[in-house]
A = this chain, B = another copy of it.
């Protein structure tokens, strides 16, 4: 029988950087690691790739298990494969970033795992190379979000322009002019204005919008340029 004789075999894992938005700040979801080494230290959500699943499958499984959510926006970043990145045994990890509606998560909290949202800039030190993964994920999120309409994935079905505005500023860590932002975002044709207003933030209230799902599906790959003076 044919075989690949004496080639080394490795563990393969996935790690997910889960982003959320609480209306004011960008956050990431971390868990306390449940196995040695570094047990009880904060880490990304991850797990080993099982024998009958692809890495993408594994990432979805891990997210489902730890957040209860399915069909989450998930994007493969890169593989982390330095020989010594895991001190116990050689493990290669496929890094993903996920965008979830933070409110959906809170409704489905899974008590089996000690998970907690952290402000992106006030997160604890993480194990292994997970700090690097987070840095890479932020960069990739910024890059992608400047060109593709993906940040909607972090907002509820009904959202306001000011909410979207703050989210873009958070992700890009920059100020964006209200008028120019509003013009750009509406000119995409992706937004449908609703009659209802969100009165929680101001006396006047801000109109809710929803995504035009058809156009969103068609334009998910389309180029936009939503962030001025973008530095990548």
Chain A residues near B (Cβ < 8 Å): 2-4, 7-12, 35-37, 48-56, 76, 78-79, 81-83, 88-92, 94, 221-223, 230, 232
Contact = CB atoms under 8 A, between A and B. Distances in A.
Main SS of the interface on chain A? loop
A2 B51 contact: no
A82 to B, nearest CB: 5
Contacts of A52: 83
Give the number of copies in the complex.
2
Contacts of A10: 9-12, 49
B51 A8 contact: yes
A10 B53 CA distance: 12
Q: Which of A4, A11, A55 has the most CB of B within 10 A?
A: A4
10 contacts: A7-B11, A9-B9, A10-B10, A10-B49, A51-B83, A54-B81, A55-B81, A55-B92, A79-B79, A79-B94
